[in-house]
Amino acid sequence: MSLTIIIILIISGILVGFINTLSAGGTTISIALYLALGIPAQITNAINRVGVLLQNGFASYLFYRKNLINYKHLILYSLPLLVGALFGSLIAINIDEKIFNICFAIVLLLMVVFLFIETKATSKQEKPLTLKNYLIVCPLFLITGFYGGFVQAGTGFLLIAVVGSVLGYDLIKTTAIKNTLMFAYTIVAMAVFLFRGGIETKYWIYALIHSFGNLIGSYIAAHYALKKGTQFIKIVIICVVVLIALNLLGVLDMQLFFKNFVN
């Protein structure tokens, strides 16, 4: 691994961590980089979880110290999410690679829609954890978990929508719960990918170096929570998502372009 690639992994990781802390969807940049380095889509889908795990684990710890999470409720909400993540991950590792590439491309393009939908947490009153409300929200968490286990990219948007809009949590609590739930289901997804094996050690090293940048970006965003520049970030993510999808569908050859760039 060259010094140039290490620098690119760290710098892009900082950007991803910064974006994900402010909103969601930054992992599309990680995916673009991994694919450009010539890493197969299914392996990219696996190692991409390393940064998600570490970054959300770090954020969850910070929220835990501030006592912003009701863990009794969180455990109950996480159950359908974890079940969905398990099944989504199992399908992701067993599906044919060509079919996965097409599904991956379609899902990433659909993410553009989420970028134009305001999923801000509302200021409505929190809904109590009753059996009725739990049965209503369970299918939503199950679907979100399945999506996250299968692809991961953009799951934060879905969780913000469910936790903020459906459950009525304020912005701070929504962010706290989103990060903690993502940390929880990523453990399940990572376990599935690790149990399956077949991924070379060098790819995990790429992910760890990139994750180091994630943590730096997360730290910067947490301490300098800038409110401006959101539209610019959305434009960047949209461009990245479109390029990834076109690359997966064989319309563009991003790998060739980036190989020339890093060499």
Reported as a single tens digit per residue, the pLDDT across 79-129 is 999 999 999 989 887 877 778 767 767 766 666 665 555 545 444 566 667
What separation in angstroms does the CA of 100 have from each of 4, 32, 96, 249? 30, 16, 6, 11
pLDDT at 58: 83
Quick: pLDDT tens for 185-204: 999 988 888 888 778 888 99
Predicted TM-score of the model (pTM): 0.74
Report the 10 Å Cβ neighbour count for 172. 12
Quick: pLDDT tens for 175-187: 788 888 989 999 9
- Of the candidates 85, 79, 78, 60, which has an alpha carbon nearest to the alpha carbon of residue 148? 85
115 neighbors 238 (Cβ within 8 angstroms): yes
pLDDT at 212: 92
82 neighbors 146 (Cβ within 8 angstroms): no
Pick 57 or 172 by higher pLDDT.
57
pLDDT band at 237 (very low <50, low <70, confident <90, very high): low
Rounded to whole angstroms, the Cα distance separating 193 from 249 reads 24
pLDDT at 124: 55
CB neighbour list of residue 168: distance below 8 Å, 6 or more residues apart: 122, 124, 125, 126, 127
Quick: pLDDT tens for 241-260: 676 667 667 777 655 665 66
Tell me the average pLDDT across 5-23. 83
Query: With 70 as the cut, is the pLDDT of residue 240 above it?
Result: no
pLDDT at 226: 47
Q: Is 235 left (phi over 0), alpha (psi -120 to 50) or beta?
A: alpha
Lowest-pLDDT range, 33-42, 72-81, 172-181, 226-235? 226-235
- Of the candidates 35, 32, 30, which has an alpha carbon nearest to the alpha carbon of residue 48? 30
pLDDT at 208: 94
Termini Cα distance of the chain: 11
Query: With 60 as the cut, is the pLDDT of residue 69 above it?
Result: yes
